[in-house]
Amino acid sequence: MDLITSLTSEAVGKALDGVSLRHKSIASNLANAETPGYHRADVSFENELAVALKHDRERQHRGFSPGRMIQIQNDIGGSGNSHVSQMTPKIEHDTDHKYRNDGNSVDVESELVALTKNTQRYMALVNLQTRLKRQITTAIQGG
């Protein structure tokens, strides 16, 4: 994160990474709905992102004073050592549940519902990211 990138925009970027990876895992689940023994994949990152945001916000508030601004920038920005920047969404396979007798754990209807929800989340995050970039552009242009 640098002077132009905020913790919010960094978190939105990480959320987009997670939602994009989830979209790929849902597509893989649907493609393998008839594959015997296939274990459905999912991506869970929301809780990890929330914890990372909490830690970074606490770190920002602890050091927020005019004399500590350089330390905040060193702690949070520039070096890429924020908790949010280090967070990486991961694909996890569900080996505990079996939907069918052949060992496949994909329920097509549930996957289609998840795909719809995930698409809505993606669109909302893209809209938010667009607004954040528009605010930066307006600030730079002095408007």
Q: What is the chain's mean pLDDT, rounded?
A: 85
Q: Using alpha carbons, select from 32, 42, 51, 12 the residue that is nearest to residue 118.
A: 42
pTM: 0.79
Per-residue pLDDT at 45 exceeds 90: yes
> Residue 31 burial by CB count (10 A; 0-12/13-18/19+): exposed, middle or buried?
exposed
Report, as an integer, the average pLDDT of 46-72: 73
pLDDT value, residue 21: 97
Beta-bridge partners for 33: none
| CA atoms in the 13 A half-sphere facing the CB of 79 | 10
pLDDT value, residue 80: 56
Per-residue pLDDT at 66 exceeds 50: no
Task: Please write the tens of the pLDDT for every residue from 78-105.
Answer: 445 688 989 999 999 988 877 788 989 9
pLDDT value, residue 63: 60
> Residue 127 burial by CB count (10 A; 0-12/13-18/19+): exposed, middle or buried?
exposed
pLDDT value, residue 64: 54
What long-range pairs does 74-82 form, CB within 8 A, spacing at least 24? 76/1, 76/7, 77/1, 77/2, 77/3, 77/5, 78/1, 78/2, 80/1, 82/1, 82/7, 82/10, 82/52, 82/56
* Phi/psi of residue 41, nearest 5 degrees: -110, 150
The rounded distance, in Å, linking the Cα atoms of 117 and 112 is 9
